[in-house]
Structure 1
Amino acid sequence: MKKVLIIGANGKVGKHITKKMKEADDFTPTALIRKEEQKSHFDDLGVDSKVVSLEDSVDKLKEAITGHDAIVFTAGSGGNTGSDKTLTVDLDGAVKTMEAAKYAGVDRYVMVSAMMADNREVWEKLDGMKPYYVAKHYADQFLKSSGLNYTILRPGLLLDEEGTGKIDIENPASKKGVPREDVAATVLASLRSDNSNNKIFEFNTGDTEIERVVS
């Protein structure tokens, strides 16, 4: 049973990941959340939770990470905050969890990033979104150079519709988005497959079974 700390568990993708891991027989999820009032959702699921902010110290994050086998990072400052929070949460918060993971001896790290996080030309065309993409880009870059055993997932537009269990990594830009439920399923499949180690998957909804894509 793999113990996984889900950072950003209270987000829309994070809740899907947590639920799927709770229902699986090969994972034990722990939800990392930033507010006490968020605990009740995870208590109802029967999932342990830890209240820690990504703006806390590396040492405090290390305490939360210690004892787990893997980390999933799916946190974000949200669309209602400014560029300062994007910098301190989406970028520095992510980097601090990578530093803390190394100190805690936790090697496996799955990052939920964003499609086109390496394409600066695209950032310039997305009004108001450039700070978000800059943060995602450099968090991904740090992860790649961290020495951790990483998988970086870069989904397209996130949708609330029911998942299909299928994605496309061959020509993802031709599609219009991907259900959050399928992003969560891709996280679990990545953790189950050694072939996803130290790889980046950029994807949208598609016709290929998720397990086949990452295996």
Structure 2
Amino acid sequence: MAPPTVLITGAGGRTGQIVFMKLKERSDQFVARGLVRTEESKEKIGGAADVYVGDIRDVGSIVPAFEGMDALIILTSAVPKMKPGFDPTQGGRPEFYFEDGAYPEQVDWIGQKNQIDAAKAAGVKHIVLVGSMGGTNPSHPLNRLGNGNILVWKRKSEQYLADSGVPYTIIRPGGLLDQEGGLRELIVGKDDELLQTETRSIPRADVAEACVQALLFEETKCRAFDLASKPEGMGTPTKDFKALFSQLIARF
């Protein structure tokens, strides 16, 4: 049987690049395809024919990338930019903004809805969506960044996916760390309970590994979970993902 073909959207982003490389390394298990927004991003991840260029806000531009796909991993996200002129020596907090047309409403809601619709139309059999912890709290500080309400819009697209009829896995990581993966014990939770604990961050590489592993186990289908990690050196690094995923109970 041919290995499943998996499309990673946001493949030029920091987490997306790691997922893309992980799937490429497991060419016996997966055929990887990437979707990026610009030719520049395409070059950054190898520039090969298996990377499509399209804008998730324009559904027509992304449809070709979805043809023949078995699974989809959504890693697109609006990115706030820091307003110029911030001087850390003066104290205070930096201010952030979103570029016109690149607000969370357009990227995290409309852009993700477009991807879910395109995947459903193409007969994709499993969608893994990476969201974020904090979505149960409308007054979460992240929503104030650039007046973008980013967690509100992410939550809306998560709900749209859960209602889509396509088997789904929603992963809501805590604070993302640019550190090596595979060295920590991973913890799953629900309803932002982990935000009340000391363990609410996780290396991007571990989130990326969870995305790949989620494709392999039935236990992740139609499940949503929060994901964090214990500090390095505490606990036992997670190797058995089936055991981790068997703890999942929440559908949303």
TM norm structure 2: 0.77
> Judging changes above 3 Å, is the alpha-carbon distance between structure 1 residues 181 and 75 closer, same or farther for their aligned structure 2 residues?
same
User: Is residue 168 from structure 1 mapped to residue 175 from structure 2 by the alignment?
Assistant: no
CA–CA distance in structure 2, aligned partners of residues 130 and 156 of structure 1: 19
CA–CA distance in structure 2, aligned partners of residues 125 and 42 of structure 1: 29
Q: Which has the larger radius of gyration?
A: 2
Q: Which residue number in structure 2 is paired with residue 75 of structure 1?
A: 76
Q: Which residue number in structure 2 is paired with residue 27 of structure 1?
A: 30
> Judging changes above 3 Å, is the alpha-carbon distance between structure 1 residues 124 and 78 closer, same or farther for their aligned structure 2 residues?
closer
Q: Which residue number in structure 2 is paired with residue 11 of structure 1?
A: 13
Identity, in percent, stands at 30
Q: Which runs of 5+ in 1 are unaligned?
A: none
CA–CA distance in structure 2, aligned partners of residues 145 and 63 of structure 1: 24
Q: Which residue number in structure 2 is paired with residue 201 of structure 1?
A: 225
| C-alpha distance after superposition, 1:97-133 (max 9, x if no partner) | 1111111111210000001223325x26864276111
CA–CA distance in structure 2, aligned partners of residues 126 and 79 of structure 1: 11
1:1-215 equivalences under 5 Å are 1-24=3-26, 25-43=28-46, 48-57=50-59, 59-80=60-81, 81-82=98-99, 84-85=101-102, 86-121=104-139, 123=140, 127-128=144-145, 131-163=149-181, 164=183, 166-170=185-189, 172-173=194-195, 174=197, 175-206=199-230, 207=235, 209=238, 211=241, 212-215=243-246
| C-alpha distance after superposition, 1:3-60 (max 9, x if no partner) | 110010011100110111111131111110010122223327x672000111112x43
Aligned residues: 212
After the TM superposition, list the runs of 4 or more consecutive aligned residues in structure 1 that deviate by more than 4 angstroms.
none
| C-alpha distance after superposition, 1:127-160 (max 9, x if no partner) | 4276111111101010110111000000000000
Letter in 1 for 2:80: G
CA contact (8 A) 2:142 2:150 kept: no
| C-alpha distance after superposition, 1:64-113 (max 9, x if no partner) | 11111100001112112248521111110000111111111112100000
Letter in 2 for 1:73: I
CA–CA distance in structure 2, aligned partners of residues 115 and 47 of structure 1: 34
* Structure 1 vs Structure 2 CA RMSD: 2.1
> Judging changes above 3 Å, is the alpha-carbon distance between structure 1 residues 41 and 205 closer, same or farther for their aligned structure 2 residues?
same
Q: In structure 2, the residue corresponding to 1:161 is in which secondary structure? A: coil
CA contact (8 A) 1:151 1:198 kept: yes
CA–CA distance in structure 2, aligned partners of residues 125 and 77 of structure 1: 12
Hey, which of these two has a bigger chunk of helix by percent?
1
CA–CA distance in structure 1, aligned partners of residues 16 and 206 of structure 2: 12
Q: Which runs of 5+ in 2 are unaligned?
A: 82-97, 247-252
Deviation of 1:167 (Å)? 0.9
Q: In structure 2, the residue corresponding to 1:18 is in which secondary structure? A: helix
| Segment drifting more, 127-136 vs 92-101 | 127-136
